[in-house]
Structure 1
Amino acid sequence: MENALENDIEQFIEQHKIPLVGILTQENQRNIYLSRRPICIVIYDLDFSFDYRERTQYWRNKILKVANNYKDKYTFAIADEEKLSSLLKEFGLEESGEDVNVGCYDLQGLKYRMEDNDEFTSESFEDFVNRLDKKKIKPYFKSQPLPKQSIINGIHILVGKNFDKIVKDNTKNVVVFFYAPWCGHCNEFKPTYSKLAERLAGQSNIILTQMDATLNDIPQGFDVTGFPTIYIVPTNNKPVKYDGNRDINDLVNFIEKNIGLKREL
């Protein structure tokens, strides 16, 4: 009984240690707010100075109405559009032109956004949260435009929009090279990767791909914490991460091991 009471108290403290609609900042976003998923963040011009605080509070009051109805399911916060412009970019809203923008993360970290054509009101925000709660909104994935030239030197160019179509093709074994343009090791590896593409050119069931991981969201199932990162996705669609050196023979052995075509490579 005492343990149950202690658990109830701990749960109560956890639920109430931040305001119903708190202010997300650069200092608290990682440790406090973004760890409390699912979360909806309303991003606009926050100014609590005497001349502008009424306008700031006007929008916050609209959010409070909705937050109170969904406080047991979601965390709600507001964020300044200038100080946290990175959040607008994260949700692809940096050029929306709207006074108020909304982005949400679910438990898995997938992103959802209130579209530009939805005028922000208490009613439209509640409708958005309601549809989100019922899983009627598709996740948003940051993506470059589809490439005009989809294959360069035997390597398929991936972006967020074509990732699943190419990588999850269960008739192909797909090698994925995640890189960053500023990564020196990635640039050093690219000639080796091109040679690997040449070496495997005769294997119709193996394709090599690459994706700029700074301009496209990394799909679930891929752990990319540094660059370059290499995966193979065999026909069973279960990604396998490469942890060897960047030698072409080691890469070939890695592919052989995971697709069972040693005699043909």
Structure 2
Amino acid sequence: VLGNKPALVEFYAPWCGHCKNLEPIYAQLGESYASKKDKVLIAKADADTHRELASRFGIRGYPTIKWFPKGIDEVPEDYSGGRDLESLRMYVEEKTGTRGTVKKVVSHVEVLTDRDFEDKVRKEWTGKGKNVLVEFYAPWCGHCKNLAPTYEKLAADFVNDMDVIVAKVDATVEKAVAQKYGVSGYPTLKFFAAHSTEPQEYSGGRSEQELINYINKHAGTARAPGGKLLANAGRITTLDSIASQFAALAPSTTDDEKKVLLQDGLKKANDLLTTDKNAKHYVRVFEKTQESPDFIASESARLAKIIQSGTMTPTKLDEFSIRHNIISAFVAPQAEQDDELERDEL
């Protein structure tokens, strides 16, 4: 694959935490040199799967990054620089004389200062029901640089959740707020829950998935990496119980018996309209299924097709995903699995 071109190669293991942290940075590096593949390659190899290859190049830890001056047959040299995007980019540029094109990222991370921290976090955000994750960082900190692209992705993942804010503070400049919240190392992540008086310090992993899991748990959201919604987004447990009962009805169930169950569900969904905005989607399913027995199957397929089309705004995608999640509660487990397979094939 490398031929006789110079290449930077990351040897990684899928289970390695440091590799997961490096992944978005290394992907950005690859993107910056995507149009220069005739001059240099940015590559990676799963050293856990390809153990002979790893043994050949003396890989003993993950991630290991090596520079191959003229393809794989040349003796490589170890890369020992920083694992932030700028350090890696400068290294490749020094080796090849070729500058990578780093795309400017539109940031969804809120920047806070000593002057506005309390007003925004305490009054404007948490005081009004929003949850805020704040990173206290130092510009010179290597771990902060490694976290930066993941943190940007995290902010983008939650951009459609009005009750979640991802923010950062340069603790070397905004010293008063850093001192107030006991920041002594970098990066320090603190979570300010809605209507809370004291923040929680985040001590988990720094991968996109781990940070998303934490926010989902503490803010009641249902996001996945990339910003899509999880299958449980929008679902209401009490109404799901009735929906699953309907899905489990035997073929011999009479129309009158079905109607009794659907009307019970409709009444309970209507009772929740003022407290849960997603109850209206259950109301529609309970009503339409009484009118047409085929509604659930046809609507589920229609929504899946719309979602797969990829032609809508993120806000609309959320709306249709929630509607599909809800109608899936009315589908028997095997039929729902078949529907998911069909969506994957579209």
Q: Bin the TM-score by the shorter chain.
A: 0.3 to 0.5
Which TM-score applies when normalising by structure 1? Answer: 0.40
Which TM-score applies when normalising by structure 2? Answer: 0.31
Q: Which structure has the larger Rg?
A: 2
Higher strand share: 1
